[in-house]
């Protein structure tokens, strides 16, 4: 049995996987509100002691994807005051092989495990092309990963590209940058614009700086419900001009940022959009706003037009990647592959 974890800024998603005929098979998963716990160890122990786990196969290996760079088997989380240490986790959870990955690196490993129906294609591009890939994921924050093609397989590489400087492309975005510089007292990263928090920042900019009307019903709903869910619904159904303009600005900036990543890595093998935001805004992602900004790269526009662009619809992609990585690394260390053993 493999334990996989996706540790986010607001929630921790844990799952158990096994292998059947060489393929990942989901056993059980559960989502925990991160701020209700003191750390990952507490959550993992609760998860492993619940359900039908007591009578199942022991956990052979575990891998947790988390926001932030991994150094010497440790991660200081970006959006939570937690320090994860793989050696301590292995000892306290009594699991022989425990690994830590950057969350986007885990997501990148999950791409190879996805089925066609778990992906939405925004741009077919050159479907026969092979080469490097890029992954950009807007959730609570913004993450990026690179997948380098070595001639046989893709090798995921973590990055902190979501924290590079935001680059405005229009007078409106210049105004947005200035608004955010005041709000955050200086530097503005892409994460401040293209993420869950970015949606709120754009909304506030259009409402407060550009004086777009916020109807009383919208203000009330945003106070009582998930503000991003309210924003998305009111924007996509045309009920609020302010929300529609927010989604337009967000999708355009998201596309531009994804195009930057595709140029950086020369993503002939595809640019993937992960995270929780895009699937919830999938109709907006498909209306052309994102793709126009993605391809709008001047003399290099023709290069971007040939890059396949795909949205990952599967919410457990990062968990699948973490599970696949845990099995592969544990097999290298132990000489025993439970994936290979599952093939009859």
Say yes or no to pLDDT of 309 above 50.
Answer: yes
Q: What is the mean pLDDT of residues 310-316?
A: 96
pLDDT at 53: 47
pLDDT band per the 50, 70, 90 thresholds, residue 246 = very high
pLDDT at 55: 46
Q: What CATH fold (topology level) applies to the domain 115-313?
A: Hexokinase; domain 1 (3.40.367)
Burial of 56 (0-12, 13-18, 19+ CB in 10 A): middle
Phi, psi values for residue 308, rounded to 5°? -65, 135
Q: Give per-residue pLDDT as tens, 151-178.
A: 999 999 999 999 999 999 999 999 999 9
Domain with CATH 3.30.420.40 in the chain: 2-110+316-341
Q: Give per-residue pLDDT as tens, 194-216.
A: 999 999 999 999 999 999 999 99
> What integer best gives the mean pLDDT of the chain?
94
Contact 94, 53 (CB under 8 A): no
CA distance 50 to 318: 22
* 2-110+316-341: CATH architecture: 2-Layer Sandwich (3.30)
Domain with CATH 3.40.367.20 in the chain: 115-313
Q: Which of 203, 188, 324, 336 is nearest to 257 (CA)?
A: 188
pLDDT at 56: 64
Specify the 3-state DSSP secondary structure of 215.
coil
Say yes or no to pLDDT of 54 above 60.
Answer: no
pLDDT band per the 50, 70, 90 thresholds, residue 344 = low
């Amino acid at each position: 049995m493999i334990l996989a974890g996706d540790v986010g800024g607001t929630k921790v998603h844990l799952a158990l996987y096994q292998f059947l005929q060489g393929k990942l098979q989901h056993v059980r998963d559960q989502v925990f509100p991160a701020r209700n716990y003191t750390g990952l160890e507490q959550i993992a122990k609760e998860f492993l002691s619940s359900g039908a786990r007591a009578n199942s196969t022991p956990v052979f290996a575990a891998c947790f994807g988390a926001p932030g760079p991994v150094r010497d088997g440790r991660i200081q989380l970006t959006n939570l005051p937690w320090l994860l240490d793989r050696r301590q986790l292995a000892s306290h959870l009594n699991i022989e092989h425990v690994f830590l990955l950057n969350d986007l690196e885990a997501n990148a490993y999950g791409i190879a495990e996805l089925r066609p129906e778990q992906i939405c294609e925004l741009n077919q591009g050159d479907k026969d092309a092979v080469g490097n890939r890029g992954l950009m994921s807007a959730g609570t924050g913004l993450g990026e990963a690179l997948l380098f093609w070595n001639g046989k397989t893709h090798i995921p590489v973590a990055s902190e590209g979501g924290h590079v400087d935001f680059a405005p492309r229009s007078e409106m975005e210049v105004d947005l940058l200035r608004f955010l510089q005041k709000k955050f007292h200086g530097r503005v990263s892409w994460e401040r614009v293209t993420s869950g928090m970015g949606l709120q920042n754009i909304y506030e900019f259009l409402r407060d700086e550009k004086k777009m009307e916020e109807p009383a019903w919208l203000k009330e709903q945003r106070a009582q419900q998930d503000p991003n869910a309210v924003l998305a619904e009111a924007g996509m159904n045309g009920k609020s001009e302010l929300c529609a303009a927010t989604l337009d600005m967000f999708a355009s900036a998201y596309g531009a940022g994804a195009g930057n990543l595709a140029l950086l890595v020369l993503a002939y093998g595809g640019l993937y959009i992960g995270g929780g935001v895009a699937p919830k805004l999938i109709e907006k992602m498909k209306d052309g706003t994102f793709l126009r900004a993605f391809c709008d790269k001047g003399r290099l526009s023709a290069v971007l037009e040939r890059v396949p662009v795909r949205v990952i619809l599967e919410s457990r992609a990062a968990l699948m990647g973490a599970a696949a990585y845990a099995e592969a690394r544990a097999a290298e260390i132990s000489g025993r592959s439970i994936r290979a053993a599952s093939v009859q």
